[in-house]
Amino acid sequence: MARGLGNITKMDPAELKMLKTRIDIATAIMIALIAILVVRLWHLQIRKGTEYAQQSENNRTRIQYIAAPRGNVLDRNGEIIIANRPLFNVVWIREDAPHPDEVLKELAKILRLDISVLLERIRAGADHPRYLPTRLKENIDWETLIAIENNAFRLPGVQIEVVPSRDYRYGEMASHLVGYLGEINPEELAANKGGPYMQGDLIGKGGIEKQFDRYLRGEKGQSFVEVDVRGFVQKRLRAHEAVPGNDLQLTVDIALQEAAETAMADRAGAVVAMEVNTGRILAITSLPALPLHEFSGGIPADVWQRLLNDIKTPLINKPVQGQYPPGSTYKIVTALAGLNEKVVTPDTSFFCSGSLKFGNRSYGCWKKGGHGSVSLHRALAESCDVYFYQVGQKLGPDVIARYANSLGLGSKTGITMEHEKAGNIPTAAWKLKRFREPWQDGETLSIAIGQGFNLTTPLQICRMTAAVANGGTLYRPQFIAAVKDSTGAFVSQFQPIVDGTALGTPRMLELIRDGLAGAVNEPHGTATAAKMQDVLVAGKTGTAQVVRLAIFQQTSESNVPYKYRDHAWFTCFAPFDKPQIAVTVLVEHGGHGGSAAAPVAKAVLTRYFELHPLASVPPAETEPAAPAATP
């Protein structure tokens, strides 16, 4: 050891110099390597820094979507028809439940359910990931919600899920109009590619909810959250608030809607009420109503089957999709054509013996005994078929069709409702094309009284009635009064749209109005059931034949099976001298218009004039222009 230590002091100066040189070389190598590190650091942090900063940002941030409150649907007076309502569901998160048995026992007590029901639900969701919620009970009430919240500390694993849902303040009223929501399906997603919709979104599936979805839905908000590597949210960073959907204010008066649906009771059919001078819809109903409460979260297959097989066809939105022969309401068209084509004058009269022989057939009038000698006024008031056979025969189908078209029949009204039907107004050319057969003259008699190939929708008839009432202007039916944003500011507002003018002169329409007034107010009128005390109503009944079978002609109405019974029409306007409202009622398989449909229209009119008393209108303006009103 001592020798070894002795060596230490003896360092050869040459060797020392060499080692020092090597340390210098080592120092140089070290500095070079450090320089590489610094350059690399500069490359990562300065040169490529923003790129990596972006990647780090993408790493840690996730976007969560905030549902936008859907717009409300209001009636014309601001009464809320549909609003939003949070739906509270009880959910179970397995991951958070250390003692499931006790918790479920406790929860079953609060929910007043048997524990087996809960266990069944949990079993059904057993293949879910542990951290995802399984629904135990949907739509709990406030009391239950409070009970669960108060006991939350005793219920680990139990959570309340809040789901936005629609609150139908008037239940199933106007169900076809308002429609319903459902979860967006893959086809809808594909159709809206690039649009604002995402998987799981609610989207309007029918009615206003569908047609005006773009206004109602608002804009989803986005919340940027910071997540850790497992995706757990650590904190909220920033958010773009959701933009609530726009409110839709309808032209519909829910009070009239209610009056119409109440008056229809459990009968199937349609009621349309319209402002004659604007085309605003006041009420529009299709019955039977859709069971909207069964539609939330998709229509169950059994419900769908049931609706599909219902002979009252609730799936058809009858005011615009139901096509019925117009029956005697069509006599308005034939009358106008006859006057304008000068085949009759107001004083031309025909003799009605109860039937008309034409060719080798006899065409009956509804009144077997006959009307005797009838001119235009009585022909309309008492709905004499023979009179119109004569007129129609002189006109021919193509001329009648021209007048029907000018009154808006045979084409879509343009209302913003889905699958509107155009109906059918036959011409000789149409028949040739459709059946490859020439027009038979006898068919002209049928169509002159609104049977045969004629098909119309209740909305078309209502619009025609309004046009007759207002002097010939054909307004487009509209049911949206205004679109307002959540602050109440108007986004857009109703403007009447004129789609056409009826052929004929104002004087001719006046003559027709007289006839319609007679139908309601004269002792032999067909629509006396619609007569009102204080308001002069003018209207026309109609009976749309479903089948023409000899066996049913003989038996009384109630013995005919439901589906073979005639449809009952009634269309009217009021007040006679300064018309405001037109109402059209169709009762499917309801029999005669006068007895089945007219009382419904009267109920709507009664309600309307309760809400809009005529006394409030300056009396000077209510003076009738013509003295022809009284029989």
Q: Which is nearer to another protein, 9 or 116 (CB)?
A: 9
- Residue 53 interacts with another protein (CB under 8 A)? yes
Contact 206, 110 (CB under 8 A): no
Q: Which is nearer to another protein, 40 or 563 (CB)?
A: 40
Give the range of 3-11, 167-175, 251-259, 390-398 binding another protein by CB under 8 A: 3-11
Give the range of 48-56, 155-163, 210-218, 394-402 binding another protein by CB under 8 A: 48-56
Give the range of 28-36, 112-120, 552-560, 611-619 binding another protein by CB under 8 A: 28-36
- Residue 432 interacts with another protein (CB under 8 A)? no
Q: Which is nearer to another protein, 9 or 558 (CB)?
A: 9
Residue 1 Cβ, how far from another protein at the closest point, in Å? Answer: 6
- Residue 233 interacts with another protein (CB under 8 A)? no
Q: Which is nearer to another protein, 230 or 419 (CB)?
A: 230
- Residue 63 interacts with another protein (CB under 8 A)? no
Q: Which is nearer to another protein, 27 or 150 (CB)?
A: 27
Among residues 13, 199, 200, 229, which is the contact residue for another protein, using CB under 8 A? 229
- Residue 11 interacts with another protein (CB under 8 A)? yes
Q: Which is nearer to another protein, 42 or 490 (CB)?
A: 42
Please tell me the distance from the alpha carbon of residue 363 to that of residue 114, in angstroms, as a whole number: 70
User: Strand pairing partners for 484?
Assistant: 247, 490
Please tell me the distance from the alpha carbon of residue 241 to that of residue 239, in angstroms, as a whole number: 6
Please tell me the distance from the alpha carbon of residue 462 to that of residue 472, in angstroms, as a whole number: 13
Q: From the centroid of its chain, how far is CA 216? A: 13
Give the range of 42-50, 211-219, 290-298, 476-484 binding another protein by CB under 8 A: 42-50
Please tell me the distance from the alpha carbon of residue 631 to that of residue 629, in angstroms, as a whole number: 6
- Residue 440 interacts with another protein (CB under 8 A)? no
- Residue 18 interacts with another protein (CB under 8 A)? yes
Among residues 77, 139, 150, 234, which is the contact residue for another protein, using CB under 8 A? 234
Contacting residues for 85 by C-beta, under 8 A, at least 6 apart? 165, 166, 167
* Residue matched to tokens 């409110």: 247
Contact 258, 576 (CB under 8 A): no
- Residue 33 interacts with another protein (CB under 8 A)? yes
Give the range of 17-25, 216-224, 414-422, 539-547 binding another protein by CB under 8 A: 17-25
Which of these, 275, 564, 522, 262, lies nearest to 381 by C-alpha position?
522
Instruction: Tell me 577's DSSP state.
Output: S
Please tell me the distance from the alpha carbon of residue 193 to that of residue 177, in angstroms, as a whole number: 27
- Residue 3 interacts with another protein (CB under 8 A)? no
- Residue 15 interacts with another protein (CB under 8 A)? yes
* Residue matched to tokens 């997603």: 189
State yes or no: cis peptide before 575, omega within 30 of 0.
yes
Please tell me the distance from the alpha carbon of residue 547 to that of residue 565, in angstroms, as a whole number: 8
Please tell me the distance from the alpha carbon of residue 330 to that of residue 261, in angstroms, as a whole number: 25
Sequence-ordered alpha helix ranges (H) in 197-271: 207-211, 213-216, 254-264
End-to-end CA separation in angstroms for the chain = 148
Q: Which is nearer to another protein, 61 or 305 (CB)?
A: 61
Dihedral of the alpha carbons of 54, 59, 61, 64, in degrees to the nearest 10? 130
Residue 247 Cβ, how far from another protein at the closest point, in Å? Answer: 42
Q: Which is nearer to another protein, 5 or 620 (CB)?
A: 5
Give the range of 96-104, 228-236, 322-330, 518-526 binding another protein by CB under 8 A: 228-236
Q: From the centroid of its chain, how far is CA 414? A: 14
Give the range of 19-27, 63-71, 149-157, 364-372 binding another protein by CB under 8 A: 19-27
Please tell me the distance from the alpha carbon of residue 64 to that of residue 69, in angstroms, as a whole number: 16
Q: Which is nearer to another protein, 60 or 476 (CB)?
A: 60
- Residue 36 interacts with another protein (CB under 8 A)? yes
Residues that bind another protein (CB under 8 A): 1, 4-5, 8-9, 11-12, 15-16, 18-20, 22-23, 26-27, 30-31, 33-34, 36-38, 40-42, 44-46, 48-53, 55-57, 59-60, 226-230, 234
